[in-house]
Amino acid sequence: ESGAFAQVRRMINRGLPAQDVAHLLESSPPKERDLLWSMIEAEFRGDVLQYLTDDIQAIYLNRMNPEEFLAATEGLDTDDIADLLQQLPDTIIKEVLVSMDTQDRHRVEAVLSYPEDTAGGLMNTDTITIRPDITLDVVIRYLRRHQSIPDSTDSLIVVSRKDHFIGMLPLTRLLVSDPNITVREVMNTDAIVISADMPDSEVANLFEKYDLISAPVIDENGALLGRVTIDDVVDVIREDAEHSLMSMAGLDEDEDTFSPVLLTAKRRAVWLGINLLTALLASAVIGIFDATIEKVVALAVLMPIVASMGGIAGSQTLTVVIRGMALGHINSGNTGWLINREFIVGLINGAIWAAVVAGVAMFWFDDMMLGFIIGTAIIINLIVAVVAGASLPLFLKWMKIDPALAGGVLLTTVTDVIGFMAFLGLATVFYL
Amino acid sequence: ESGAFAQVRRMINRGLPAQDVAHLLESSPPKERDLLWSMIEAEFRGDVLQYLTDDIQAIYLNRMNPEEFLAATEGLDTDDIADLLQQLPDTIIKEVLVSMDTQDRHRVEAVLSYPEDTAGGLMNTDTITIRPDITLDVVIRYLRRHQSIPDSTDSLIVVSRKDHFIGMLPLTRLLVSDPNITVREVMNTDAIVISADMPDSEVANLFEKYDLISAPVIDENGALLGRVTIDDVVDVIREDAEHSLMSMAGLDEDEDTFSPVLLTAKRRAVWLGINLLTALLASAVIGIFDATIEKVVALAVLMPIVASMGGIAGSQTLTVVIRGMALGHINSGNTGWLINREFIVGLINGAIWAAVVAGVAMFWFDDMMLGFIIGTAIIINLIVAVVAGASLPLFLKWMKIDPALAGGVLLTTVTDVIGFMAFLGLATVFYL
């Protein structure tokens, strides 16, 4: 083993925090990534794995046997172990669970019993609970018996004898209050409580809105199951925000930047195929008017302008509405106003740019009629585009289809078809 | 005043937390929004303002005089007051600062002296500091003299006599350690420290990577200035992630979903104008080949397919690279691999879809030559598209232009021009 090699190995296993090693792997093309991975010591692999994006986690997890998995994940948080396990096939999950000690198995099983994208799947089971009738002094002495307190613990959770949630005792309040009073007197009873089946994006909204650091998770009977912490919520926020961006290009938010050639080609091919159908439909519309184009070839020169202006205007509206839906701004009470505003905006911008394009067309081809036709087509297409941009995502959501994924393709179909139809249709009426 | 009106007023000022009132305002069209705002009591307005998006903040801040501003923002955190102030004109800022009491003014001025998008502009000055040589017991007694501890305080900051940063004492460690030992013995000296001029997106990366809840901010001499807390960082993460999505549609991440008609029309018009230049350039390219189109009108029918397939393939690559750049995955060491991969992916997908489209074209127009021409044009355009999609954002970043904003427009220009040029150029060679 050469000196440089040994040095890299030492740096990876001793010098860098797991987050940085994960970042290094994510920033490396497949071959170098595999080499780096092979240099990470077995016990350190779990630490690194938990910080990797799903795509890359899956690659390395699938190369591990249950013993390696257990060795790698020893000492990780329950929610992180559960996250990693969920990437494995069921038979392996069972093998791993059987090899765990009873307490760990129960904890991991509790998290695994909820879908990954709910509060239950996100939660941690490392809660410190106290009873309401003890004094703060007793709480402080109880805490001092701990070796350490779990990360991101800003509050102790107050529970009944039956482990039902009662309230929260922030550490900061514990520290400023008279030690002789009881937990019940200072605890926070109107704290935000999260039910295990709440979707993770709703959990993220609550954390963001109320500046939470941790929140208790309860089952349908009010029994405490665990807690969600801000570090996991930050990941949800990042992923949710990236979801729209990536979906609009037909990509997944877990996509590995350096995924290998064949995997990349396969995933992208599907999206190209879907968009080809849109393009073929647009071509079919143009095909209807081939006689008109044959007579006035300037139509072929100008027609992409009509379609592209519609596409741009529509996708701006689509983006605003998709973001507004993600932020929870849009509801049945204000969609009417929104679509109406878009209609007027489409009319104004349609009129402005129709005038400009009409002028250009008249000047370029020395044809008044052509200017009038393209101007009218642009006004029509811009209005249709913005109204479609505003209403399509609402319709798709109602159909339970992801608007960020399907919205762009459908919108382009609308703006291409209407754009070509309006422009070439008008031209056919006036020229033939 | 009618009963329903009084009820809404009561709900806004007494029933709902400021976050929910802000959300209600953000989800309302302008007229209803103004009505709701007029019902919020003067002292409560600052609380609500701090949760509003910049666009809407600016509207209401500009309607306030300095007295109203002071009354509204009393009791807010320093960083939040500074944030709001930054939206006002300089003369008003001075008036407000003069009317503040000395301590508050100094604090706000400290934050204002740093750009809004740096750690200094993000920081809060409500730190609790302790000395290294006292015992934990003294710390606990010192804390008990406080009425309350500021929100998101997970650690006390250990400073020297000259207020220079020395280390952090997590509250959880304070609670589990022997009260007789000194702060110096248990404090964390390798805590993450942030310099005041660090860009806020870098601060966010540190918080995300190391699961931080708060971190100290120091000046160039190591003197403690304040601290950054996770709640403010979450907003930065959300905004950074939204930035790419909104920029790619030529929008600002602070955009108000319900901005009024004229403002909306004006902002969108600019983007449409920029894109019109792209479309005109594409038309000019088509115009070069008008004689060819006149002879073979099928070219006009099929040409949008070539351009659109290139646009889709390129924008997928562009999105992956822009996201990879935002996550810090892409550096000079791996761009070569990335562009090379994209080239091969472009070749593979180009070949697959060229074959499909060539088949469709031959069958549709009963013309072998046409199939060969469009297939070749698609392969050329897809390769150019993905290589441009990968290299354009890197080039733009090097030119200090925002890739998310300019990348899409430039890419479309490339894919349209190359698409039409390749398809119509080949056709001219073979048909004329």
- Give the nearest chain B residue to A176 (CA atoms): B144
Is A148 an 8 Å CB contact of chain B? yes
The interface residues of chain A toward chain B in range 224-253, judged by CB-CB distance below 8 A, are: 230-231, 234-235, 237-238, 241-242, 244-246, 248-251
Mean pLDDT on A276-302 = 95
Nearest CB to A300 within list B175, B244, B300 = B300
- The least confident of A103-117, A158-172, B132-146, B315-329 is A103-117
Name the CATH superfamily, with its identifier, for domain A261-431. SLC41 divalent cation transporters, integral membrane domain (1.10.357.20)
- State the smallest CA–CA distance between residue A112 and chain B in angstroms: 23
CA–CA separation, A267 vs A26, rounded Å?
19
- Tell me the per-residue pLDDT of A378-391, one tens digit each, with 9 for 90 and over: 999 999 999 999 99
Question: What is the predicted pLDDT for the residue at B80?
Answer: 84
Contact B140 A175 (CB under 8 A): yes
Domain A129-230 has what CATH class? alpha beta
Which residues of chain B make contact with A241, given a CB cutoff of 8 A? 237-238, 241-242, 245
pLDDT band at B88 (very low <50, low <70, confident <90, very high): confident
Q: Give how far A213 is from chain B: nearest CA, Å.
A: 8
Confidence of residue B104 (pLDDT cuts 50, 70, 90): confident
Which pLDDT score is estimated for A76?
Answer: 84
pLDDT bracket for residue A95 (50, 70, 90): confident
| Model pLDDT for residues B135-174, shown as the tens digit of each residue | 999 999 999 999 889 988 999 999 999 999 999 999 999 9
- B240, A320 contact by CB (below 8 A): no
Q: What is the mean pLDDT of residues B36-46?
A: 90
| pLDDT, average across residues B325-351 | 92
Say yes or no for a CB contact (<8 Å) between A323 and B357: no
Average pLDDT for residues B266-283, to the nearest whole number?
94
Residues B70, B76, B77, B80, CA torsion sign: negative
pLDDT at residue A181, as a whole number:
95
Tell me, what's the pLDDT at A306? 97
How confident is the model at residue A305, as a pLDDT? 96
Task: Give the pLDDT of residue A422.
Answer: 97
Looking at residue A336, what DSSP letter applies?
A: H
Interface contact A320-B251, CB threshold 8 A: yes
Q: If we measure between CA atoms, which residue out of B193, B199, B203, B201 comes closest to residue B225?
A: B193
Mean pLDDT across A302-331: 93
Chain A residues with CB under 8 Å of B252 CB are: none
Q: What is the pLDDT of residue B364?
A: 95
Q: What is the ipTM of this complex?
A: 0.88
A90 CA: distance to closest CA in chain B (Å) = 30
Mean pLDDT score, A409-431: 95
A residues 249..278 contacting B (CB < 8 A): 249-251, 255, 257-258, 260-262, 264-265, 268-269, 271-273, 275-276, 278
A431–chain B nearest CA distance, Å: 16
DSSP state of A44: G
Per-domain residue ranges of chain B: 3-113, 129-248, 261-431
Query: For A361-371, how does the pLDDT look when each residue is reduced to its tens digit (9 = 90+)?
Result: 999 999 999 99
pLDDT at residue B1 tops 60: no
Measured in whole angstroms, the distance separating CA B168 from the mean position of its chain's CA atoms is 30
Q: Does domain B3-113 have CATH number 1.20.1630.10?
A: no
Q: Taking 80 as the threshold, does the pLDDT of residue B289 lie above it?
A: yes
Closest Cα of chain B to A426: distance in Å?
17
A162-186 residues labelled b (16+ CB within 10 A) or e (exposed): eeebbbbbbbbbbbebeeeebbbeb
Nearest Cβ partner for A255 among B28, B300, B320: B320
Would you call B276 and A315 a contact, using CB atoms and an 8 Å cutoff?
A: no
pLDDT per residue as tens digits for the range A27-69: 999 999 999 999 999 889 989 998 898 889 988 998 888 888 8
Residue A2 has pLDDT above 70, yes or no: no
Can you tell me which residue has the tokens 């502009």? B121
- Residue A303 forms contact with B (CB below 8 Å): yes
Q: Which residues, in sequence order, are CB contacts of A10 under 8 Å at separation 6+?
A: none
- CA-CA distance, B395 to A108, in Å (whole number)? 47
Residue B359 has pLDDT above 90, yes or no: yes
Do B261 and A345 make contact, defined as CB atoms within 8 angstroms? Answer: yes
Which residue type sits at A236? V
pLDDT at position B379: 97
The rounded mean pLDDT for chain A is 92
Residues of A in contact with B344 (CB under 8 A): 261, 265
Q: Report the residue of chain B nearest A258, measured CA to CA.
A: B338
Cα B377 to Cα B366, B385, B430, distances in angstroms: 18, 12, 13
User: What percent of chain A has pLDDT above 90?
Assistant: 68
In this prediction, residue B396 carries a pLDDT of: 95
Residue A367's pLDDT is 94
Place of tokens 């704290």: A191
CATH class of B129-248: alpha beta
Mean pLDDT of B247-264: 90
Across the interface, do B290 and A301 touch by the CB < 8 Å criterion?
A: yes
Cα of B414 to nearest chain A Cα, Å: 14
Taking an 8 Å cut-off on Cβ atoms, the answer to whether A171 and B176 are in contact is no
Backbone dihedral angles phi then psi of residue A313, each to the nearest 5 degrees: -60, -45
The pLDDT value recorded for residue B244 is 87
Question: pLDDT tens, B376-429?
Answer: 999 999 999 999 999 999 999 999 999 999 999 999 999 999 999 999 999 999
Whether A308 has its CB under 8 Å from any CB of chain B: the answer is: yes
3-state secondary structure chain B: CCHHHHHHHHHHHHHCCHHHHHHHHHCCCHHHHHHHHHHCCHHHHHHHHCCCCHHHHHHHHCCCCHHHHHHHHCCCCHHHHHHHHCCCCHHHHHHHHHHCCHHHHHHHHHHHCCCCCEHHHHCECCCCEECCCCEHHHHHHHHHCCCCCCCCCCEEEEECCCCEEEEEEEHHHHHHCCCCCEHHHHCECCCCCEECCCEHHHHHHHHHHHCCCEEEEECCCCEEEEEEEHHHHHHHHHHHHHHHHHHHCCCCCCCCCCCCHHHHHHHHHHHHHHHHHHHHHHHHHHHHCHHHHHHCCHHHHHHHHHHHHHHHHHHHHHHHHHHHHHCCCCCCCCHHHHHHHHHHHHHHHHHHHHHHHHHHHHHHHCCHHHHHHHHHHHHHHHHHHHHHHHHHHHHHHHCCCCHHHHHHHHHHHHHHHHHHHHHHHHHHHHHC
Residue A210 near residue B17 (C-beta atoms within 8 A)? yes
By the CB < 8 Å criterion, does B19 face chain A? yes
Q: What is the DSSP string of A385-421?
A: HHHHHHHHHHHHHHTT--HHHHHHHHHHHHHHHHHHH
Residue B296, pLDDT score: 94
Chain B positions touching A254 (Cβ under 8 A) are none
Confidence of residue A417 (pLDDT cuts 50, 70, 90): very high
pLDDT at position B2, please?
67
Beta carbons within 10 angstroms of residue A196's beta carbon: 23
Cβ contacts of B345 on chain A, cutoff 8 Å: 261, 264-265, 268
User: Across the interface, do A175 and B255 touch by the CB < 8 Å criterion?
Assistant: no
